Structure 1
Amino acid sequence: MKKTVIIGIICGLVLSGSLIYVLYDDTSLRYNVGTLVGVKDKPQILDDNFVISEVIVGIESVTALTFIENDILFLEKESGKIRHIQNGILVDEPLWDFQVKQEGCNCYTESGLLGITSVDSYVYVYVTEELNHDEPNVENRIYKFTWKDNKLQNPLLLHILPADELVHHGGALVSDLDENVFATVGDQNLETSIQNYDNDIIADAGIILRVGYDQNFKSPSASMNPLDHYYAIGIRNSFGLAVDPITGYLWDTENGPAVYDEINLVFPKFNSGWAKILGPSNEIVSLKHTSDFSYSDPEFSWELTVAPTGISFVDEKWDKYQNSLFVGDCKGGNLYRFELNDSRDEFIFENPDLQDLVLNELDDNEEIVFGKGFGCITDLEYSSDGYLYVISYLNNGAIYKIHPK
Structure 2
Amino acid sequence: MHHRLKLLISFFAISMILLSTITSSYIQVSYGAYAKAPLSPTGPTVNDDTLTVEKVTGGLDFPTSMAFLGPNDILVTEKATGKVMRVTNGFVLPQPVLDVPVASAIERGLLGIAISKQPDGKTFVFLSYTESGNGVDSSDVDALVDPLGNRLYRYEFVDGRLINPVLLFDLTAIPPNTRGEHNAGKIRIGPDNNVYYMVGEVGGHRTQAQNIIDGPAPNGLGGVLRITQDGDLVDPGDPIFGEGLPLNVYYAMGIRNSFGMDFDPLTGNLWDTENGPVAGDEINLVFPGFNSGWFQVQGYVDEDLLEHGTTEADLVYFGKGQYADPKFVWTLPVGVTALKFLNSFKLGDQFANNMFVGDINNGLLYRFTLNEGRDAIFINDTYVGNVELLEDNEIDDPKENQPLIFGQGFGGITDIQVGPDGYLYILSYTGSVYRILPIADSIVPKSQPSSPPSSPAQNGTLTSQAVSAVILGIDGDNSYSPEPIEIESGQTVTWYNGDTISHTVTSGQDGDPDEGVLFDSDSIIPNQSYSLKFVEAGEFDYYCIYHPTMVGQVVVNQPDTSSSTSEDSPEDSPEDSPEDSTDEGDEEN
Is the deviation greater in 279-288 or in 200-209?
279-288
Q: Check conservation: 1:62, 1:392, Cα contact below 8 A.
A: yes
Give 1:141 deviation, angstroms. 0.8
Provide Cα deviations, 1:248-282, integer angstroms capped at 9, x if missing partner: 11110000001110000111110001011110111
Question: Distance between the aligned counterparts of 1:403 and 1:371, measured in 2?
Answer: 12
Give the Cα–Cα distance (whole angstroms) in 2 for the partners of residues 158 and 138 of structure 1: 14
Structure 2 gap ranges (5+): 1-37, 118-122, 136-142, 234-238, 303-310, 381-386, 440-589
**Partners of 1:124 and 1:91 in 2: how far apart?**
20
Matches of 2:147 and 2:341, distance apart in 1: 38
Aligned residue number for residue 201 of structure 2 = 187
Higher strand share: 1
Query: 1:173-322 counterparts in 2 under 5 A?
Result: 173-188=187-202, 189-199=204-214, 200-212=216-228, 215=231, 224-282=244-302, 283-289=311-317, 291-314=319-342, 315-318=344-347, 319-322=349-352
**Would you say the 8 A contact 1:213–1:229 is kept in 2?**
no
Q: Which secondary structure state, in structure 2, belongs to the residue aligned with residue 297 of structure 1?
A: coil
The within-5 A match list for 1:75-86 is 75-86=77-88
> Which residue of structure 1 lines up, in the alignment, with residue 393 of structure 2?
357
- Counterparts of 1:202 and 1:92, CA distance in 2: 42
Pick from 396, 400, 403: which aligns with 2:434? 400
Whether 2:408 is the aligned partner of 1:372: answer yes
**SS of residue matched to 1:115:** strand
The residue that corresponds to 2:236 in the other structure is: none
Q: CA deviation at 1:291?
A: 4.8
* Structure 1: 5+ residue stretches without partners: 1-33, 103-107
Contact 1:41 1:375 (C-alpha < 8 Å) held by counterparts = no
Distance 1:299 1:392 in 2: 26
TM-score by length of 1: 0.84
Correspondence 1:329-344 to 2 at 5 A: 329-344=359-374
Give yes or no for the alignment of 1:117 onto 2:105: no
Q: Contact (CA 8 Å) 1:75, 1:113: kept in 2 or not?
A: yes
Q: Deviations over 1:109-144 (max 9, x none)?
A: 100000001111111000101142596542111111
Flag the structure with larger Rg. 2
Cα drift, residue 179 of structure 1: 1.5
Distance in 1, matches of 2:421 and 2:207, equals: 44
Other structure's SS at 1:320 match: helix
Point out which structure has higher relative CO (alpha carbons under 8 A, 6+ apart): 1
Give the number of equivalent residue pairs. 359
How far apart, in 2, do the equivalents of 1:293 and 1:215 lie? 23
Matched, 1:44 2:74: no
| One-letter amino acid of the structure 2 residue matched with residue 345 of structure 1 | D
Quote the residue 1:141 is aligned against: 151
Partner residue, 1:27: none
Match of residue 30 from structure 1: none
2:411 matches 1:388:
no
CA gap of 1:128–1:362, structure 2 versus 1, over 3 A, is closer
TM-score computed with the length of structure 2 as normaliser: 0.58
Alpha-carbon deviation of 1:150?
Answer: 2.4
> In structure 2, what is the Cα distance between the partners aligned to 1:393 and 1:136?
25
The one-letter code of the counterpart of 2:205 is: L
- Deviation of 1:302 after TM superposition, in Å, equals 0.2
Identity of aligned residues (%): 39
Deviation (angstroms), 1:100? 0.4
Matches of 1:77 and 1:203, distance apart in 2:
25
RMSD: 2.2
Contact (CA 8 Å) 1:338, 1:347: kept in 2 or not? yes
